[in-house]
Structure 1
Amino acid sequence: MAARTGLFTAPVPGTPPVGSSPLDGRRVLGALYGTAFQVLSGGGIAQSSSSMAFTVGQTVWGIPDPTDSAAVFLSPSDAVTITPAQGPSTGSRKDIIQVKQNDYGNNDPDSRMQVVLKAGAAGGSPTAPTPDAGYQLFATITVPTNATNAAACTITPATSSTLLLPTLQAPTFQQLSLITTSQPFQQAVVTADPNPLLVGPYYWTGTAWRFQGPRLAYFTTLIGGLVDGSQVSAGSVTEVPVSEVGDDFATISGSDIKLAPGIYSADWEVALGAGATGRSYVTFAWADAPNTPLKRTNIAVGEDQGGVTMSGFAVSGSPRSLRGLVYKNNGQTTNVTGTWTITKLR
């Protein structure tokens, strides 16, 4: 593999210039801005009400280099007016606006930016044509029957007008949390946090980094001096101090856990701390329906329950509180401790 010296460096006398070629520049731009087709600025389309003229305003494009997957062209274009044919007498038609950055070094006839129209065929259920080789689809124009001006047509953009930055990487969540961005849904990855629960993909909400996929919340519970023969809720609830606690979907509500609408997997690990001398059980249910358990585990007589884990699913279309309940019968009034692990699946 040939060694490269980076952009804008002086070549060693007697050697070819390395690191300042156009391809090297496009690779650096690809690393900075990503290699997806995108509109970096501009991209507006004006539709005439007196003719079939569509004017694509001054734009800066990000266009993949077809010869190198790590490279991207950043290409400005002046305002361009394109004029499709009027609407067909029957049916409708779909035309497309396609764009390409020519590059003489890639065997194109010149190195100019192209913003051009490709017409489709009329029909009762028309389909848009496929962009020509090397071109990117920018927008689809639906031309209705007998349309005589651009304002009567419908424009469907094919690409976001927001700059799509490449995925950020941070070794730990603490380091990621020091980064802010103005780009909604900016992607990031934590690669090696000491807490394995924090390793994985994140996105920017506009105010904070949020873990993608299933999201976790942790809570501890304590029932102090439980009296035998009584069914008691989970008592005091506290958050476990890790970054995913509560997130924005699970919060403490008295002795319950209030959940936002969604689909959840809930685990409650409960330690009774003594063998049962009579009928005992632990259960969890919706707080507004405590006698209809989502999950229940019976404790056998004489069984030492140092820790029993109940796992179940909870589904709700509106905010609702989850409640843990314990019925203990062992002749003692020891504390009952527990840990909630709640996963939001959707």
Structure 2
Amino acid sequence: MTLKTAAPAPAAVARRAEHQARRRKGKSPYPYWFYLPAAVVYTALFLVPTFASFFFSFTRWTLTDFTFIGLDNFVQFFQEPALLKGLTNTFIYGAVTSTLKVALGMLLAVLLTSRIIARGYLRSVIFFPVLLSSIGVGIVFTVLMDPSKGMINEALAAVGIEGPAWLVDPAWALLSVAMVDVWKGVGLATVIYIAGIVSIPQEYFEAAKMDGASSVKCFFNITLPLARPATATVIILSLIGGLRSFDLIWAMTKGGPGFTSDVIASVIFKQYQAGFYGLSTAGNVVLFLIVTAIILPLSMFLNRKEVEQ
């Protein structure tokens, strides 16, 4: 005796076929009004301020009035003597911090995904600085890096090394802040790399070991290529953070000594403090365009490489 199953209702079959066709076309199964709350928030918090900044960058404005002056703000901004130094420092700071976060984040992730004692605890320790306030970190390290009474130079003196004047020497000020930035942000890069490494199928490593591959070869031939999406994410996030950095630099050096550790963001803030609101707004537009001009092509390049892989 055979049992016959009831055929699905025509309406159900039609709904299923419509759903599958919509998925093949890449359309969302949700109605468009589901996106309305997110669109309102995005418009209010991003689009409106962005367009307002572009508009007011062409004006001389106060809280109660504005006067349209064309490109005068941009001309004056690029004539500022501190701008060229700030622009150079911005690129140096972004390149140093992002490079070190990528390299150290990858190495720490490889270590923290291996079979070591207290692996979970060490992951927490590495990530903990990410949760700290940038201002608080800046104040603490300002004390630690004091050239005469700071604990860092005292520790170096104990082993016979004369520490530099970290934050008051023009040759060290910017790099000192960059090192603190790396210490604070490498935990996030490590977590992203850990997620990328643990997603790699273990069969690849087992097959490589059966073929006699060493750990170094496994890293360069398996881990590094297959962790490319994580690398792209870390590069983009670190570079954006480095190019836009302000709070840590301001807490530790305020752009000093002189203009030696000024970045574009600190130059903009100094103009705002002086009451040149239109000029500082133009500086924000310049910073936005610089970050966009760097990050957008880089993101497209990294994503294209990822697809090719």
Give the TM-score, by structure 2 length.
0.21
Higher Cα Rg: structure 1 or 2? 1
Give the structure-1-normalised TM-score: 0.20
Higher-helix-fraction structure: 2
Structure ranking higher on relative contact order (CA contacts 8 Å, 6+ apart): 2
